[in-house]
Structures are given as C-alpha cells and as structure tokens.
C-alpha cells in the first residue's frame, strides 16, 4: 500500500486538522462542549510552543491544505488555523 502523503509530517498535519475540524463543528449532542474546549485549547497550547521552524512548517502545510480545499467552510477553518491555534506568536 502506497501513502498518498509526501511525508509523515504532512500525514500527521492532515490527521490533526481532521480531528480539530470535527471537534470544532460538533454539536453539543455529539461532544460535550467543555471537553471540546479542553481539546482545542490543549492542541493550541502544544502547537503554540513548537520551535519557530516547526511552527512555520505547520503554517506552510496548513496553507497548502487551504489552497487545495474545495469546501469553503473547511478552507476558512484552515486559513484561520494559524491564528486560532497560536502559531503566529513568538515562542522557542
């Protein structure tokens, strides 16, 4: 079986975005809102503390994903991802 992803990093970024997109769009009946916030904030904390080169790599990957996205709502989520998850600030 051949992967459709050019790298492990790209595969993991796609998986992360898929999970966050699901959580962000979940109704209260699908997921407890407090749990959703905890997960989103936890991911935001982790990615915001990445070293600058890793944050830049993730920003670029998400940008590539947004450029190829045909769903306008998901594209907007991807375009807002760097700011929404704290990737634009200065860290390590």
pLDDT reported for residue 2: 62
Q: Please give the pLDDT value at position 91.
A: 47
pLDDT in tens, the chain (92 residues): 566 888 899 999 999 999 999 999 999 989 999 999 999 999 999 998 999 999 999 999 999 999 999 999 999 999 999 999 888 865 44
Question: 82: buried, middle or exposed (CB in 10 Å: 19+, 13-18, 0-12)?
Answer: buried
Provide the token pair at 38. Answer: 């905890």
- pLDDT the model gives residue 6: 84
pLDDT of residue 1: 59
* Residue that the structure tokens 């904030």 belong to: 41
Strand, coil or helix: what is 84?
Answer: helix
Instruction: Please indicate, yes or no, whether the overall pTM of this predicted structure exceeds 0.85.
Output: no
4 DSSP 8-state letter: S
């Amino acid at each position: 079986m051949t992967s459709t992803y050019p790298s492990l990093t790209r595969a993991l970024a796609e998986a992360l975005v898929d999970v966050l997109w699901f959580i962000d769009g979940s109704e209260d009946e699908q997921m407890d809102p407090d749990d959703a916030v905890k997960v989103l904030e936890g991911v935001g904390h982790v990615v915001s503390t990445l070293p600058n080169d890793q944050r830049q790599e993730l920003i670029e990957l998400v940008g590539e994903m947004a450029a190829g996205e045909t769903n306008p709502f998901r594209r907007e989520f991807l375009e807002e991802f760097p700011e929404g998850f704290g990737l634009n600030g200065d860290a390590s």
